[in-house]
Structure 1
Amino acid sequence: AVAAILAIHNARSIGAAASVDHPPAPSSGAGNVALKSVLAALLESPATEMMELVEQAGMLEALELAADRHNLTIFAPRDEFLELHFDADFRRFLLLPGNVRFLQELVMFHVLPIRITASQWRSGRFQSLSGSRDEVLLHWNKKQRLAVDRSTVDWPDMIVRSDGVVHRIDGLLVPKSVQDAYAAARISSSAVLPQAAPSLSGESFGNKAEAKLFHVTFPVIDDLIGSAPAPAPSPSRFSADGHGRVQDFIAALVSIGGYGEIADLLVNLTSLSVEIANLVNEGHALTVLAPGDRAVARLAAEHLGAIESILAYHIVAEYQTEESLYTLAKRHDRVVLSTLHEPPFNRLVAREIDGTVEFGSGNDLASSNSSRSSTGLLMDPNIYTDGRISVQGINAVLIP
């Protein structure tokens, strides 16, 4: 398919680009178009998987028009990443006939209408050509390497031409709008139907212990660079809309990274997402204590058969943010919280410890010398808050 595209460009006399690794400076004047065409060089570069996505999205002509109007910066995911780590379900979602707009948005999210070479790199958020309101974050990572959202630039200035520059990255950039659409599609195809949860066989759960809901690199969200707690919801969001709110908080769990397993459990392996939506529609407000992926992976086999009951113990029957939880726990020695776990024995208890909040049963928190085997600390505050559902990240699975 890429060869066919390249043939078209060769027919237009723009296919004979110079070496990708060491591109020569473009000649002055009109010269040879091939020397100036960043797209022609990209077609002949190692980024074949990226160009395959461009073709599947039908965006080659759009890229050509963009190159005529702007000096482009293109971030090309390395082929090895797309071949080995591009989640198969996510790829199928993008390639569904009715979802081409999401694939187009994803492809163009990798293209900026401004030229930024490695020497011109600067931290900041930039609008892409995707049409999405989501912006692309350029920065230096902890190792002081050039980075785009959560991806590292592993080959800066892979292609440099007069009409643009290409940097190779080690991941895939996915705008939040596409993430949300995929999360919504997963929910609508499974969890929103009021049917019994799937059985917890080894095939459906045990083999997924090391898996993640997504294997793509998502854009860095604000709290990774020091954002304030989530703002209060707009008045329009105070309507019940339990289904929409569940979609939103599942998407938030997936977006932040490290909470794909709990999102998968709530949506696909239990009926709790449906129960949460129904409760919100009835006027209730809830707090979800979400264990991280590492905590879920440590679950013992003996607990898998009771996973729905265990996760119900993580759903508090009142709305609490990180600030209100900490204030209550700081003011009182211990705070008892009612959960959806039935029967209501071993109620969840919260206490302040070392500047954060610890959760567990009354017995687990009875002594300061507790081993904390069934206690968890609030680690990622306010992952999602909308006035009716609050999601707080914790570092352990709580066993009632």
Structure 2
Amino acid sequence: MPQVLEFKLPDLGEGLTEAEIVRWLVSVGDVVAVDQPVVEVETAKAMVEVPCPYGGVVTARFGEEGTELPVGAPLLTVAVGAAEGDAVETASAPAAAAAEESEGSGNVLVGYGTGAPAARRRRVRPAGPAGTAPSAPPSSAAPVLTPQPAAPPAVVPADGPVPVISPLVRRLAREHGLNLRELAGSGPEGLILRSDVEAAIRAAEAPAAPAAPAAVAAIGERVPLKGVRGAVADKLSRSRREIPDATCWVDADATELMAARAALNAAGGPKISVLALLARICTAALARFPELNSTVDTAAREIVRLPEVHLGFAAQTERGLVVPVVRDAQARNAESLTAEFARLTELARTGKLTPAELTGGTFTLNNYGVFGVDGSTPIINHPEAAMLGVGRIVPKPWVHRGELAVRQVVQLSLTFDHRVCDGGTAGGFLRYVADCVEQPAVLLRTL
């Protein structure tokens, strides 16, 4: 007899408590192998393919595409141990063996998925005269698998705890004077999601809004702040609330830096990017001014100076702004930095960055010059203490060796947490960066 096992949304790591179903990769009746990805979900960190630890026939799915589910909610059920030929179509021996797996692999963790290839899909044949499967010998007969309906939501006792997806949602309700017991949760077993509370807030505020004249009434487009965009919004809001930031900037003659890059690339080997050279300058500057490679522990009222430079860089994608992190950037040369920037940028473009590749940064390099602008005052990437901004490099009039000349000029800006250092330290850091841009030979002292 086959056994129906329930697969729940696993812990995706990094403190994530929920995920949105973006795309189902299997349907009811499909045969799945152990560790085969079955659903693509979007968390506040990244897009993730979730593998199933069971092999067998999918009998039910829970949640439509676009639905948010909390960690631990049922994703699907799988019937394992089905006899080949009774419930599924005949297939090759390897695929049949994969379908008969009855033990989980244990590889579903922290939202990464596995690299196992997907098994060939096979579907349960519908029962009845219109789709009757070929008869089998009596000795091999087995019950036909049928989809299992989802269990009805449990009723929460009137005097029991209210099931809420996270403390943040509970606080949101409290700040708006909502009674959670009066809300009907749309999550599994009546779980109250953030969307439920936000909908109740909109409903409560709607009557207070003045009615617009019918002739000019308009409905604006509402874009949910969720997934990556929602996480960015929360982090930037927190940064503005907690960090007393300041910005200083300077123009620098980047002509010699561009010439040095051209000479490096003409010498053969992998091409070196401008971003990699700027990153190398950053790590050298942070070695001189370690105050800026730090974070503030507000609870302990301490500044924590960090030994390694995990360099974040801003990358714009179709899903919003993300900040991939280059680990141990201080130990990399320009060639290694170029390769790592290229790898992480491609993963960002395809939405395949893992949570580990999006967290843990200690300093951010923001090349907003790619958008065709000269300057900016960016928001610090909390909980970091500083961000270096780089504008576009363009020909401008410049006094060079006492004479007016056309040079390649770039504007550099440093936004810093004024709690970790004063303006003298921030100015010294930025001036050193500008000196390295104008005279790359300055870097030879630290190589």
Which of the five TM-score ranges fits, normalised by the shorter chain? Answer: under 0.3
Q: Point out which structure has higher relative CO (alpha carbons under 8 A, 6+ apart).
A: 2
Give the TM-score normalised by structure 2: 0.25
TM-score normalised by structure 1 residue count: 0.27
Largest Rg, 1 or 2 = 2
